[in-house]
Structure 1
Amino acid sequence: MPIEPLSQKDIADRLSELPGWSLDGDRIARSYRLGSHFAAAALVVHIAQVQDELDHHSDLTLGYDSVSLAVNTHSAGGTVTEKDFELAGRVEELAPGHGAS
């Protein structure tokens, strides 16, 4: 069964449940601040593990003490789908354990 894009209303409703996440063009995105470069790198590795588990990958950027993600679903024409929110939710669950804010 093909993955269906979410409506703008569904995206807005889902984003209201994920503080810090926003719609950035055709992707949902969030940036995190961490206490050190090592903590940021560890978060990137943990996110990469989750992405492999879900077989769904974001654009993931490591800064000195920051991590940024932006994601949409390429197989759905580069639109936002439920898969993107599944990944965002998983990242939200693990980020506090790395000291992310």
Structure 2
Amino acid sequence: MAEALSKEQIEERIKDLPGWSTDGRKIERSYLIKHVPGAAFVVHIAAIQDDLGHHSDTTLSYRGVHVSISSSDLGGYVAEHDIELARRIEAAAGGHGVQ
């Protein structure tokens, strides 16, 4: 079973992920992107999540996409696989023209 990371461990792991932040219970980021390209980005995120077998809360709005990641099996805390999901989402973001 995955092990929850401390807030300090999370901060260390996301320091190379621009725009990502933590409150110690989740990691999250908002991307500025127009609606239709944002919808394509959300579909890409869904594919990444299915590939990893781990899912986030992802919200599409008129001018953006918001992603919030934590592990429900850990009571809503962050584990290594949450960091990996964030890294994969971040790697995909550039191909969608996000800001």
Matched, 1:64 2:65: no
Residues 39, 65 of structure 1: 8 Å contact kept: no
CA distance in 1, matches of 2:25, 2:8: 14
Cα RMSD, aligned residues only:
1.1
TM-fit CA distance, 1:70:
0.3
Structure 1 spans left out of the alignment, 5+ residues:
none
Aligned pairs, number:
99
Cα displacement (A) at 1:24: 3.7
Correspondence for 1:50? 48
* Residue of 35, 39, 50 corresponding to 1:41: 39
Secondary structure, counterpart of 1:94 in structure 2 = helix
Residue among 71, 81, 84 paired with 1:73? 71
TM-score by length of 2: 0.94
For structure 2, which runs of at least 5 residues remain unmatched after alignment? none
Aligned partner of 2:26 in structure 1 is 27
Letter in 2 for 1:95: A
| Separation of aligned partners in 2, 1:25 and 1:70 | 12
The percentage of aligned residue pairs carrying the same residue is 49
